[in-house]
Amino acid sequence: MSRWTAALIGLLGVAAALAAGHLVAGLVGPTASPFLAVGNTAIDFTPTPLKDFAVRTFGTYDKLVLLVGMAVVIAAVAVVAGLLSRTSPLPGTILATALGALGVAAVLYRPDLGQLAVLAPVAAGVVGVLVFRWLHRAASAPSAPGEGRRTFLIAAGASVLAGLGGQFIGTRTDVEGSRSAVGELKPTTPAPAIPAGADFVADGTPSFITPNRDFYRVDTALSVPRVLAEDWTLRVHGLVDRELTLSYDDLRRRDLVERTITMTCVSNEVGGPYVSTANFVGVPLRDVLLEAGIKQGADQLFSTSVDGWTAGSPVDVVLERDRGALIALGMNGEPLPVEHGFPARLVVPGLYGYLSATKWVVDLELTTFADKRGYWLERGWGQKGPVKVMSRIDTPQGFATVRGRAVVSGVAWAQPTGVGKVEVRTDGGPWRDAELATAVNGSTWRMWRAELDLPAGGHTVECRATDLKGFTQPAERVAPIPDGATGWHSIFFTIE
Ligand SMILES: Nc1nc2c(c(=O)[nH]1)N[C@H]1C(S)=C(S)[C@@H](COP(=O)(O)O)O[C@H]1N2
Ligand SMILES: [Mo]
């Protein structure tokens, strides 16, 4: 058997295994697909520094990078197994079995998958072994001329069909249909209109409201959970006087409030992009918790998403009357986009998302920090995540060349207090006040601009914000882990 044939047998055997797993997963739970289950489990087991590196480096594409990386590794292993199997099919058989076993382990580890889901990786293992041995036999001892080639084509074609079939069945849940059926979520209390002077878009800041398609996205979900509004419920339990189970209709029939809120990710580096602002529509979280009645001693609101991700928020913070924490159903005039948590998510102004902003939320448990630890707390991030005062230069971009008078502009945030001042300085000189855009509320970012009168040549510009309580963003550069970056953003640019 030639090396090419041997390598191809390895590849086709593994492709058949993954395709069979994907097909069965379409029936028993899409994330049970061995490829996705192993990927999701890999995400959960990835050491925190590597995960932070991935979020930092690849941003929203981190999952695509992981999927492609996994495909490359699996293909390489498949080729090696094929090459080792030139005389005996044993190495390939072992590989297919190992793939199935890895898939079973990954599926059992996933909190969102039932026992039935192991059928998907089991199918992958069995089909992988059978197809591999069948191809091997056809190539090493063909009973008719051309049998090898014919067998290969059948295996490749059937794998493609099975993979596509699994994808089709698995995504047949009509989550977009459910989203459109929700219709308009009309707030009884709309947010005040955004004043005209709230941003400096003409000078290069982002728009005050971030369009949904541009809103940053950070989560551990390799495939976005697809939950129908009509199937969704939220359970409130634990240290409460009465347990509640709320349906989507229960929530949307209440008086909905709309709040303009800036969300921030703790992984955001100084100058980074993980901050966005939206009008969220929902039910005050405080009201729901008070209805359930919180028992003495509960200091943690432990929220769980449908895919098993968890966050622990301080109870005293989510209960603050002025905090404005929401069980959000809508975002910028539409039901939440699926990637941002449809049917429902939490939004707590002034807390980083990792311990408060659970998307696809299905469970709220009142408990204690001593009893339970959320996903990122378990992985080395802080227990309390108040958003730190921060400012960012958006224009000019680093290393840009500017003609004539330079205008520097950007955003600053200090939720829930609000930004009182932004200062800029050039080339290490004295600080001077930037012009602030109209404030919207303390839980949103604030745009700023300053005109610079500088000679031609290279310059460094820095900014720093002060909140309305007088606290100024510190100079000290601190990395995001464990509770958020600090330091002044600084940009080098050239005036022509
Ligand atoms: N279910 C779930 N919710 C989640 C996360 C997650 O990984 N899974 N990530 C959190 C983090 S770290 C942040 S910063 C925000 C980001 O919300 P966005 O993707 O809508 O911007 O969601 C939070 N909610
Ligand atoms: Mo985050």
Measured at the CA of 232, the angle between CA 261 and CA 119, to 5 degrees, comes to 120
Sequence-distant (≥ 6) Cβ neighbours of residue 132 within 8 angstroms: 9, 10, 12, 13, 16, 85, 89, 92, 93, 95, 96
Which whole number is the average pLDDT over 280-309?
97
**Which ligand neighbours the alpha carbon of 264 most closely?**
1
Above 90 in pLDDT, residue 280? yes
Asked if 181-379 and 390-495 have one fold, the answer is no
Place of tokens 């089991």: 122
Q: What is the pLDDT of residues 106-117, one digit of tens each?
A: 888 877 777 888
Q: What tokens appear for 277 in the block? A: 């602002």
Rounded Cα gap, residues 390 and 485, in angstroms: 9
Give the pLDDT confidence score for residue 240 in this predicted structure: 98
Phi/psi zone of residue 143: left (φ > 0), alpha (ψ -120 to 50 degrees), beta?
alpha
SS3 448: strand
354 lines ligand 1 (CB under 6 A): yes
DSSP secondary structure code for residue 266 in this structure: T
> pLDDT-based confidence at 486, cuts 50/70/90?
very high
Which whole number is the average pLDDT over 199-205?
97
Which of 131-135, 137-141, 193-197, 247-251 bottoms out in mean pLDDT, i.e. has the lowest? 137-141
> pLDDT-based confidence at 53, cuts 50/70/90?
confident
Rounded Cα gap, residues 418 and 91, in angstroms: 63
Residues found in the chain: 496
445 lines ligand 1 (CB under 6 A): no
Give the pLDDT confidence score for residue 469 in this predicted structure: 98
Rounded Cα gap, residues 248 and 250, in angstroms: 5
Assess whether the previous peptide bond of 111 is cis (omega < 30° from 0). no
Sequence-distant (≥ 6) Cβ neighbours of residue 429 within 8 angstroms: none
Q: What is the pLDDT of residues 119-139, one digit of tens each?
A: 999 999 999 999 999 999 998
63 lines ligand 1 (CB under 6 A): no
Q: What tokens appear for 349 in the block? A: 């102004």
User: Which residue's alpha carbon is nearest to atom 18 within ligand 1?
Assistant: 217
Q: What is the pLDDT of residues 75-98, one digit of tens each?
A: 999 999 999 999 899 999 998 899
Give the pLDDT confidence score for residue 30 in this predicted structure: 81
219 lines ligand 1 (CB under 6 A): yes
441 lines ligand 1 (CB under 6 A): no
Q: Are strands 401-402 and 489-495 parallel, antiparallel or unpaired?
A: parallel
DSSP secondary structure code for residue 389 in this structure: P
Burial 252-275, CB ≥16 within 10 A → b, else e: bebebbbbbbbbbbbbbbbbbebb
> pLDDT-based confidence at 319, cuts 50/70/90?
very high
Cβ atoms 178, 37 nearer than 8 A: no
Q: What is the pLDDT of residues 379-428, one digit of tens each?
A: 889 999 899 999 999 999 999 999 878 899 999 999 999 999 999 999 99
Domain range annotation of the chain: 3-170, 181-379, 390-495
**pLDDT above 90: percentage of residues in the chain:** 77
Inter-CA distances, 270 with 8, 15, 393, 425, Å: 48, 43, 10, 17
348 lines ligand 1 (CB under 6 A): no
Average pLDDT, the chain: 93
Q: Are strands 435-436 and 257-264 parallel, antiparallel or unpaired?
A: unpaired
Residue 4's Cβ-count burial label (10 Å; 0-12, 13-18, 19+) is exposed
327, 345, 359, best to mutate for ligand 1 pocket (most atoms within 8 Å of CB)? 359
Q: What is the pLDDT of residues 18-41, one digit of tens each?
A: 999 999 998 888 888 888 888 888
Q: What tokens appear for 240 in the block? A: 């409460």
Return the number of other C-beta atoms located less than 10 Å from residue 146's C-beta.
8
Give the pLDDT confidence score for residue 404 in this predicted structure: 78
Q: What is the largest CA-CA distance in the chain?
A: 86
Superfamily name with CATH number, domain 181-379: Oxidoreductase, molybdopterin-binding domain (3.90.420.10)
Give the pLDDT confidence score for residue 69 in this predicted structure: 86
Rounded Cα gap, residues 330 and 279, in angstroms: 8
Which whole number is the average pLDDT over 256-276?
96
Question: What are the backbone angles phi and psi of residue 431, rounded to the nearest 5°?
Answer: -75, 140
Residue 187's Cβ-count burial label (10 Å; 0-12, 13-18, 19+) is middle
55, 212, 219, best to mutate for ligand 1 pocket (most atoms within 8 Å of CB)? 219
Q: What is the pLDDT of residues 426-448, one digit of tens each?
A: 999 999 999 999 999 999 999 99
Measured at the CA of 438, the angle between CA 435 and CA 440, to 5 degrees, comes to 140
44, 218, 262, 360, best to mutate for ligand 1 pocket (most atoms within 8 Å of CB)? 218
309 lines ligand 1 (CB under 6 A): yes
Give the pLDDT confidence score for residue 169 in this predicted structure: 87
Distance (Å) from CA 396 to ligand 1 centroid: 29
Query: Which among 411, 453, 405 has a CA at the least distance from the CA of 436?
Result: 411
In the chain, count of helices (H) and strands (E)?
A: 11, 19
Q: What tokens appear for 443 in the block? A: 């839980």
Measured at the CA of 491, the angle between CA 490 and CA 496, to 5 degrees, comes to 150
Rounded Cα gap, residues 82 and 19, in angstroms: 18
Q: What tokens appear for 70 in the block? A: 């996994």
Burial 85-102, CB ≥16 within 10 A → b, else e: bbeebebbbebbbebbeb
Give this prediction's pTM: 0.86
**Which ligand neighbours the alpha carbon of 266 most closely?**
2
Question: What are the backbone angles phi and psi of residue 394, rounded to the nearest 5°?
Answer: -100, -30
Q: What is the pLDDT of residues 468-482, one digit of tens each?
A: 999 999 999 999 989
Give the pLDDT confidence score for residue 274 in this predicted structure: 95
425 lines ligand 1 (CB under 6 A): no
Which whole number is the average pLDDT over 160-187?
90
Q: For the domain 390-495, what is the CATH code?
A: 2.60.40.650
